[in-house]
């Protein structure tokens, strides 16, 4: 049976027309966990759910899982057996075959649910994973909780803010996502904090300024901002940014690497724009920008406006030389980075 969508799973749970086997997996754990809970609750039935909802983990024996599935429900028509984070690679060939055989011949009185609230299924599936999933797809329903698109994520986070009494404008959300990333758990925690602050100030709308003030920024974000100051000729702000990231104990090599990433972004975007394309065209040949990397392209387009393609190439040469100095000499790393900053500023002025 082919995989089904999250919406199809919700419809089946709502209607009560359940299959005998489900495998719920994917990256979006914040959505997966409650979906698995609702499925398990519905499949356990209304009569004596404490007896007809049996849960196992990856440490449980295959024979005990099989015995629970094959046992009749307690004074009810149906039961649910749920196994969390089942990892075929940790099982013997005999135990895995027992589980696979079980999936082929499930009784009508039970629904078997494998769900993955913690671990991820490998993208390159080893032999045991492939055997398990092939059998599951043939005899049951698989649901991949893929990463949400930006629009769906915004609507979900906006509803979460509204439940707490606040309004989350789109501009504020995208500012938050640039700083906090696209992990739903992290975003939810940050929105809860922003709502508490906003309501405490007697307001309802979460403003971009509020996000700017309260959201922690990663070292990479700070370096990207520093590069933006460099390309705009704001040398004092750029040097202050460098001092800030180094005073926080960031590794100079990592700082240089983030700077290099920002200039590579600019080179790619500038090349696309000069070829008559948009900045988003970069995602077609550089998949690292898909999903949470879109803000990097926006920053790169903004930062590269004052630079020619030739100047960006010169900046990349300067970054390579600085990398060699950091890794191959005894010079003070701060002096290397400060010297690099001055040369990058000269490259901007020479554009």
Distance between CA atoms of 13 and 10, rounded to whole angstroms?
A: 5
Among 227, 268, 262, 259, which residue's Cα sits nearest to residue 323? 259
Question: β-strands 141-144, 53-56: how paired?
Answer: unpaired
What pLDDT, on the 0 to 100 scale, is given for residue 281? 82
The tokens for 39 are 């499925």
Closest CA to 153 of 9, 291, 268: 291
The token pair at 309 is: 């393609």
CATH number of 150-214: 1.10.8.60
CA pair distance 63, 106, nearest whole angstrom: 14
Contacts of 6 (CB under 8 A, 6+ apart): 31, 35, 143, 145
- Poorest-pLDDT segment among 110-114, 138-142, 209-213, 288-292: 288-292
Cβ(231)–Cβ(345) under 8 Å? no
pLDDT tens-digit series, residues 297-332: 877 888 888 889 999 999 999 999 999 999 888 889
User: Among 117-131, 202-216, 282-296, 319-333, whose mean pLDDT is lowest?
Assistant: 282-296
**Residue 319, burial from CB neighbour count under 10 angstroms (0-12, 13-18, 19+):** buried
pLDDT band, residue 73 (cuts 50/70/90) = confident
**Residue 294: pLDDT above 80?**
no
CATH match of 6-144 with 3.40.50.300: yes
Residue with the larger pLDDT of the pair 118 and 282:
118
At 290 the pLDDT is 61
**Domain 6-144 shares a fold with domain 150-214:** no
Give the per-residue pLDDT at 203.
94
CATH 1.20.272.10, domain 219-349, yes or no:
yes
CA 42/CA 113 separation, integer angstroms:
12
Q: 3-state secondary structure string, the chain?
A: CCCECHHHHHHHHHHCCCCCEEEEECCCHHHHHHHHHHHHHHHHCCCCHHHHEEEECCCCCHHHHHHHHHCCCCCCCCEEEEEECCCHHHCCHHHHHHHHHHHHCCCCCEEEEEECCCCCCCCCCCHHHHHHHHHHHHHCEEEECCCCCHHHHHHHHHHHHHHCCCECCHHHHHHHHHHHCCCHHHHHHHHHHHHHHHHHCCCCECCHHHHHHHCCCCHHHHHHHHHHHHHCCCHHHHHHHHHHHHHCCCCHHHHHHHHHHHHHHHHHHHHHHHCCCCHHHHHHCCHHHCHHHHHHHHHHHHHHHHCCHHHHHHHHHHHHHHHHHHHHCCCCHHHHHHHHHHHHHHHHHCC
**Percentage of residues in the chain having pLDDT higher than 90:** 57
- Nearest 5°: the CA angle 178, 216, 242 is 90
Between CA 292 and CA 299 the distance in angstroms is: 13
- pLDDT, tens digit, 9 for 90 and up, residues 170-194: 999 988 988 887 788 889 999 999 9
pTM: 0.61
With cut-offs at 50, 70 and 90, classify the pLDDT of residue 74: confident
Residue-averaged pLDDT of the chain? 89
- Dist. CA 167–CA 162, nearest whole Å: 6
What is the structure's pLDDT at 291?
52
Exposure string (b/e) for 170-195, b if CB count within 10 Å is 16 or more? eebbbbbbbbbbbbbebbbebbeebb
Position with higher pLDDT, 298 vs 166: 166
Confidence of residue 63 (pLDDT cuts 50, 70, 90): very high
pLDDT digits (tens, 9 = 90+) for 244-293: 888 888 889 999 998 999 999 999 999 988 888 888 788 877 766 765 55
Question: 222 near 178, Cβ under 8 Å?
Answer: no
Closest CA to 174 of 204, 215, 230: 215
Domain limits, the chain: 6-144, 150-214, 219-349
Residue 343, pLDDT > 60, answer yes
């Amino acid at each position: 049976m082919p995989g089904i969508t999250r919406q199809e799973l919700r419809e089946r749970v709502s209607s009560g027309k359940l299959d005998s086997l489900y495998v719920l997996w994917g990256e979006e754990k914040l959505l997966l966990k409650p979906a698995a809970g609702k499925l398990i609750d519905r499949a356990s039935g209304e009569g004596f759910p404490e007896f007809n909802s049996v849960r196992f983990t990856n440490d449980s024996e295959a024979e005990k899982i099989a015995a629970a599935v094959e046992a009749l429900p307690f004074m009810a028509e149906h039961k649910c057996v749920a196994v969390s984070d089942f990892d075929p690679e940790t099982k013997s060939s005999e135990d895995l075959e027992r589980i696979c055989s079980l999936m082929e011949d499930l009784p009508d009185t039970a629904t078997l649910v494998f769900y993955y609230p913690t671990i991820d299924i490998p993208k390159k599936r080893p032999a045991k994973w492939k055997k398990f999933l092939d059998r599951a797809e043939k005899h049951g329903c698989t649901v991949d909780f893929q990463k949400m698109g930006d629009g769906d994520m915004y609507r979900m986070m906006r509803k979460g803010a509204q439940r707490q009494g606040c309004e989350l404008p789109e501009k504020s959300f995208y500012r938050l996502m640039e700083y906090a990333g696209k992990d739903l758990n992290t975003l939810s925690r940050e929105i809860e904090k922003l709502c508490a602050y906003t309501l405490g100030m007697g307001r309802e709308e979460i403003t971009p300024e509020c996000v700017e003030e309260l959201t922690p920024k990663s070292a990479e974000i700070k370096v990207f901002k520093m590069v933006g100051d460099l390309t705009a000729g704001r040398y004092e702000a750029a040097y202050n940014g460098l001092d800030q990231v180094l005073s926080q104990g960031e590794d100079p090599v990592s700082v240089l690497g983030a700077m290099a990433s920002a200039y590579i972004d600019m080179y790619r975007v500038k090349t696309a724009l000069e070829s008559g394309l948009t900045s988003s065209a970069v995602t077609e040949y550089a998949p690292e920008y898909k999903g949470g990397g879109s803000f990097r392209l926006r920053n790169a387009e903004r930062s590269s406006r004052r630079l020619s393609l030739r100047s960006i190439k010169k900046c990349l040469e300067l970054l390579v030389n600085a990398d060699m100095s950091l890794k191959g000499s005894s010079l003070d790393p701060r002096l290397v980075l400060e010297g690099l900053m001055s040369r990058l500023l000269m490259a901007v002025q020479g554009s």
